[in-house]
Amino acid sequence: MKKAVFAAGAAVAMTLGMSVPTVMAATPAKSSASVSHVAMVNGWKVVFPRDVMVDGKPAMPVWYAIEALHDAGFVSQWNKGSWDITTTGKVSTDAGLAKSGAVDVVVNGSSIGYMPGSVHVDPFSHKPTLYVSVADIGKVAQAIGLTSNWKSGEWSAVGPKVAALGQAMTNTVKSPAYQMSGTSNLTLSVVRAAGGSAKLSTHAVQVPLVMHMVESLMGEVGIVDGMRAERMTETMTSSSLMASGKAMTITAEQYVIGSHLYMKLVGPGQSGKWQTVPLNASLSQLLQSPASSVPLSLSLLRDITVSTSGKATVYHAALNSKGLTNYIEELESSLQSSMPSSSVSPKELASVLGVLLHEIHASTTMTVENIGGEPRLHAETAHVDLTIDAKDFGSLAPVVAEKLQSLTEKDNISLTYAYANVPVTAPTGLPSTGTTTTTGTTYGTGSMN
């Protein structure tokens, strides 16, 4: 289902004054929660080792903090004993840092203080690295305009723009009842490989060289049998989906209740029956607590700008392509645990999707209004451009090249939200159904005058 952007680290091995060695660029291994903490900067997550103290305070490798700020959109780098940060925002020169220490913190070319530190072995890379206290990293974050917090083993820092947008997103998904409607206009062009098939086979549907598709989306969220329920219907009509050139319409329906997900496809070659979609534990938890996905959504945004239009606040942002790796990792984990047997392994499919996501260039605009006394999403638009060649698929390139040489996609998506106490009707024919009762507060609509 398309819901636009919303809907839709390393280690330092060094001693003071040394230049950065090769290990600085090494990627740390994934870790279990029992040996790690989490850093969140504007929604971007970095995992770092736990149980190291500096001056009696919880500490983390300075390089993880440098990477977290860099991946969140700041110019952040290590420079022979100093942490260099460049920002266009306001900077506080009174950061409360020490007057001497292992790390000189330099913001926009001027030192704002030092951080004491000590060298310990990083359990992820198994190399010595410089640790500094999380409290001092928090002071650096606050000096460049971020709000910093340490709670239950998670350090977070967020800027005012991201914090305000994140609050609006959270308020939206926590609303007891709301509705969505939208459209998508997609053009897909495929250049076939020399001597290859003129068609690209996707889910047993033959796709010709050029496809124009218009999609409409209708969604509603409410409470069914005391549980959060979400029902989405997406109708896809193509002017040239079949080899004959005739139009084809496929309707995809999705129903979520509690931790259960059901899907149905209606159209040529589809069963038209509801099917249960198996989920791993993390995705099951996400369905029950959709607000937990907001940081992940925020990590996809880069270069956020804010303007006003009447009583509305408008956020415009580019896609942070590196942030998509979080989505890819979640997707790969889900596929490995729930995907039925297929000629394409979950890892190969995740690899293909990874290439697609890496090559996407997109921007989004989100309009926020005060609805029911709280900021909530009123509308979203997204513009997506994707161009890929068969060679982009690495080890899978020979397989892909049998079908296509290149693929270009352009997509314009728009969504609007309303907040009315409209009952959600549970679909019939589910593998497991229940009676429908809907409750919730009416917040009014997000319509603009």
String of DSSP letters for 381-449: EEEEEEEEEGGGGGGGHHHHHTT-SEEEEEEEEEEEEEE--PPPPPPSS-SS-----------EE----
Query: Would you say 10 and 124 are in contact if contact means Cβ atoms under 8 Å apart?
Result: no
Structural contact between residues 257 and 228, judged by C-beta atoms closer than 8 angstroms:
yes
Name the amino acid, one letter, at 6: F
Task: Output helix, strand, coil percentages for the chain, rounded to the nearest 5.
Answer: 25, 45, 35
Closest by Cα among 72, 73, 46 to 61: 46
66, 83 Cβ separation under 8 angstroms: yes
Longest CA span, the chain: 75
Query: How many other C-beta atoms lie within 10 A of the C-beta of residue 271?
Result: 9
The residue among 394, 449, 446, 386 whose CA lies nearest residue 420 is: 446
pTM: 0.71
- For residue 102, the 8-state DSSP code is S
Q: Kindly give the interhelix angle for 62-71 and 134-143, rounded to the nearest 10 degrees.
A: 30
Q: How far apart are CA 121 and CA 288, in angstroms?
A: 38
Closest-CA residue to 317 (of 330, 329, 334, 300): 300
pLDDT tens string, the chain, 449 residues long: the values are 334 444 332 211 221 222 222 222 222 333 333 345 666 676 666 677 777 888 888 888 888 888 888 877 788 999 988 999 998 878 888 889 999 999 999 999 999 999 999 999 888 788 898 999 999 999 999 999 888 888 777 788 888 888 899 999 999 999 999 999 999 998 877 776 555 444 444 443 444 467 788 899 999 999 888 888 999 999 988 876 444 556 788 999 999 988 888 999 999 888 899 999 887 776 777 777 788 778 777 877 877 889 999 999 999 988 776 656 555 555 555 545 544 455 556 566 666 766 776 777 889 999 999 999 999 999 999 998 888 887 777 777 777 777 667 778 889 999 999 999 888 888 999 986 443 433 333 333 443 22
Q: Taking Cα atoms as reference points, which of 80, 62, 85 lies closest to residue 12?
A: 62
Cβ–Cβ under 8 Å, residues 417 and 376: yes
Give CA separation, 69 vs 11, 83, 90, 136, 159, in Å: 15, 11, 16, 14, 11
Strands 248-257 and 178-191: unpaired
Distance (Å, whole) CA 249 – CA 235: 7
Distance CA 362, CA 412 (A): 10
Note the Cα 243 to chain centre separation in Å. 35
